[in-house]
Amino acid sequence: MTTPFLTRRALSLAAAAVLAGSSLLGTAAQAQEIKKGGTLVIGTTQAPRHLNGAVQSGIATAVPSTQLFASPLRFDDKWNPQPYLAESWKLAEDGKSLTLNLRKDAVFHDGKPITSEDVAFSIMAIKANHPFSTMLAPVEKVETPNPTTAIIRMSTPHPAIVLAMSPALCPIMPKHIYGDGTDLKNNPRNSQNLVGSGPFKLVEFKAGQRVVMEKFDKFFLPGKPYLDKIILNIVPDTQSLVLGLERGDLQMLPYAAGAVDLKRLKANPNLVMTDKGFEGIGPINWLAFNTAKKPLNDVNVRKAIAYAIDKNFITKALMGGFATVDDGPIVPSSPFAVPDLVKYPLDLKKSAELLDAAGLKPGAGGERFKLTIDYIPGNDEQQKNVAEYLRSQLKKVGIGVEVRASADFPAWAKRIASRDFDMTMDTVFNWGDPVIGVHRTYLSTNIKPIVWTNTQDYANPKVDELLNAAGGIMDPVKRKAYYATFQKIVTDEVPIVYINLAPYHTVASKRVGNLPTTIWGPASPMDDVYLK
C-alpha cells in the first residue's frame, strides 16, 4: 500500500480555494446497474463499548459510527477530500482557519436540520473528549456566521485539519441531543435512542453481540444508501467468522489479518479479497512497555527485550508471510517515514549483556525477573500468538513472562488505561497524519487514563518539542526534518518495540458491490455498497 504526500496534496487542493460540487464517491456504482435494498451482514471480533466516534477511537467504534454519523468531508482512494456534509471548503493560506460551507438539505435522524451550530458543537466536543487530543488541539473556536457556514479558527497552522474532518474522526452530532450538559463520554444516547446524521439509523445495539442499522430515508444524498439494512455481528473468534462467511451467513469480513484464514478465503471462488482501504489508518502491531515500572524504566532492559525478538520469524512463520516487519513509529508508506532508525536485529548475546549491565543477573534456575504481557483478544495471530512467542523467546535471556488474557476488548482496554500492565501487545494506527495518530502515543501531555493515548508513560522534553513544532508546520519538507529526529530518538529510547505492519484485508461475498476501498475503507460510510 502506498501513501502519496497527503499534506502537500491537501495544501495544494486547499490553496485552489474550493473543492466543491455535487460529485460524490460512487462513480463506479453509477456505471453499473445498482440493485437497491437488502441486508448486509458484517462480521467482526471487535466489540464497541458504544457507537459514538466523537469520544472513542478505534475500528470497533468507527465501523458503526461512520454509518450513523456523517462528517464534514470524506476521502477517496487517492487521498483527495470529497464533499459530504460540507458542499465546499477553503483552508486559509496561513493554515489557521478552515471554512466549511454546509449543505442546506441535511437533517438528523429526528428530522431536525443540521446546521453550523451542530458542526461547531461537535468539533469542540471532539476536541474536549476524543482521546486524540492532538487532532484538534490548535482549534480555538468555531464561528457560525449563518446556519450553513462554519469557520474553524486555530491558534497555529494545522496541517492535519482537512484530514481531521474525515468520517471516523469528526462525526457531526445533534447539539439539541448531546448539548444537554450530560457527560459526553458516558451519555446513554451513545448507545441507545441514538440520533445521528449519517446514511443509517440505529435500530438495535446489544453490547458484545450485534449492531443493527437501517436505511435513513431522509439522508441528504439522493437515492442513498443503497442497502436497506446493515447488521454488524460481533463474534469473539475468527474461526466462526470464517465459517459464517463461507456458509453465506455473513457477506463481509473487514480487517481480516490471519494468514491461515486469508489463504483459505482467497481460495474460495465465491469470495473476493482486497488489501485496499487501509492506507489511511496505517496499522502497526507493536509491543508496548509500561516505562514507569521497574525494571522497564531502564532503557537498557527495554533494548535487551528488543534484541531478543526475531521479527522475521514472527512475520514469516507466525503470520505466513502476509505481514511485513516494521521498525519505526511512522508507517513506511508515509511521506514522513525515514530509514535512519535505531534497529534491533535478533541478538540474544547482546540482550543478555545488556541485562547483566543493568544489574539483573540470573538467579537460581537462570531467571532474572518476571513480567506480564497482555494482548488484545480476538486476533490471535497478531496478538496472542506473538505474546506466546515472546514468552518462550524472553525465557532464553532469563526473563520469565506470564501471558495474561482479557475477557474481551473493553476488559483489555481498561487494564491498559489504568496502567495495570508491564508489557502489552497492541495494534495502533497512524490515522493518515502524524498529528492525528502518532503524536498521541509519545507526547508527555497525553499521558492519560485512556486507551491509545500515551499509556507507556513515556516522557522526553525533546520529543515534546519536536512533535509540537512539527504539528504547526504546513510545509511537508520542513515537517519531515522534525519527524526524522523524533523517529531516531524514540527508536533509541524504545518505549515501544515495533514488530509488523498489520496485514488487513476485506473479504466479501461476490454479491457485494462497491466494497469500501477508500483510504478509510470499512471505517467510512457504506452508502455506496449494494448487493448484486
CATH number for 442: 3.10.105.10
One domain, residues 16 and 59: yes
Mean of pLDDT values over 169-178: 97
The string of DSSP letters for 15-30 reads HTS---SS--S-HHHH
Counting every residue written for the chain, the total comes to 532
29 contacts 97 by C-beta, under 8 angstroms: no
CA distance 475 to 346: 38
Global pTM reads: 0.84
Cα–Cα distance, 365 to 387 (Å, whole number)? 22
Calculate the alpha carbon distances from 217 to 227, 285, 379, 395 in Å: 11, 40, 36, 59
Where are the strands (E) in 39-85, listed by range? 39-44, 73-75, 81-83
pLDDT over 80 (residue 25): no
Looking at the domain assignment, is residue 1 inside a domain? no
CATH number at residue 175: 3.40.190.10
Indicate if 513 and 418 belong to the same structural domain: no
The per-residue pLDDT for 410 is 86
What is the edge-to-edge ordering of all strands in the sheet holding 200-206? 200-206, 210-215, 229-234, 39-44, 252-256, 505-509, 271-274
Q: How far apart are CA 490 and CA 456, in angstroms?
A: 12
489 with 377, same domain: the answer is: yes
Same domain, 437 and 527: no
Does residue 383 share a domain with residue 416? yes
To the nearest 5 percent, what fractions of the chain are helix, strand and coil? 30, 20, 50
Q: What is the mean pLDDT of residues 176-196?
A: 95
Same domain, 271 and 337: no
pLDDT in tens, 220-254: 999 999 999 999 999 988 889 999 999 999 999 99
pLDDT tens figures, 355-378: 999 999 999 899 999 999 999 998
Residue 32's pLDDT band, with cuts at 50, 70 and 90, is low
**pLDDT tens, position by position, 36-74:** 999 999 999 888 989 999 999 889 999 999 999 999 999
pLDDT value for 273: 96
Query: Is the per-residue pLDDT at 24 higher than 60?
Result: no
Same domain, 443 and 524: no
Instruction: Give dist(CA 401, CA 25) in Å, integer.
Output: 49
Sheet containing 86-91: which strands, arranged edge to edge? Answer: 86-91, 97-102, 149-154, 139-146
The answer on 189 and 292 residing in a single domain is no
Residue 386 in any domain: the answer is yes
Residue 173 lies in a domain: yes
- C-alpha 155/C-alpha 140 separation (Å) is 6
Domain span at residue 391 reads 283-501
Whole-number Å distance between alpha carbons of 95 and 472? 9
pLDDT in the model for residue 123 = 98
Whole-number pLDDT of residue 236: 84
Amino acid 338: pLDDT: 96
Q: Tell me the pairing of strands 512-513 and 530-531.
A: antiparallel
> Residue 131's pLDDT is what?
84
Has residue 119 got a pLDDT over 60?
yes
Q: What is the model's pLDDT at position 11?
A: 42
What is the CB neighbour count within 10 angstroms for residue 510? 12
Dihedral of the CA atoms 293, 294, 299, 302 (nearest 10)?
A: -80
Residues 32, 127 share a domain: yes
The yes-or-no verdict on residue 303 having pLDDT over 80 is yes
- CA 400 from chain centre, in angstroms, equals 32
Pairwise CA distance, residues 455 & 166, whole Å: 25
- Interval 122-136: pLDDT, tens: 999 999 999 888 899
Pairwise pLDDT comparison (294 vs 24), residue with the higher score: 294
pLDDT, position 14:
40
Radius of gyration of the chain (CA): 23
How many Cβ atoms from other residues are within 10 Å of residue 113's Cβ? 16
Per the structure, the count of domains in the chain is 2
The secondary structure of 401-457, three-state, reads EEEECCCCHHHHHHHHHCCCCCEEEEEEECCCCHHHHCHHHHCHHHCCCCCCCCCCC
**pLDDT at residue number 57:** 87
Give me the residues paired with residue 498 across strands: 286
User: Are 244 and 346 found together in one domain?
Assistant: no
In a domain, 359, yes or no: yes
Q: Give me the pLDDT at residue 22, please.
A: 39
Q: Taking residues 413-422, what's their average pLDDT?
A: 96
Span 420-440, average pLDDT: 96
Examine the domain organization and report whether 203 and 292 are in the same domain: no
506, 516 Cβ separation under 8 angstroms: yes
Tell me, what's the pLDDT at 29? Answer: 42
Measured CA to CA, the distance from residue 139 to residue 188 in angstroms comes to 27
Mean pLDDT to the nearest integer, 66-86: 96
In a domain, 226, yes or no: yes
Q: Are residues 49 and 62 in contact, defined by beta-carbon separation less than 8 angstroms?
A: no
- Please give the Cα distance from 522 to 499 (Å, whole number): 24
Number of Cβ within 10 Å of residue 411's Cβ equals 14
Q: Report whether pLDDT(27) > 70.
A: no
Residue 463 class from Cβ within 10 Å (0-12 exposed, 13-18 middle, 19+ buried)?
buried
Instruction: State the pLDDT confidence band at 26, using cuts at 50, 70 and 90.
Output: very low
For residues 107 and 241, membership in a common domain is answered with: yes
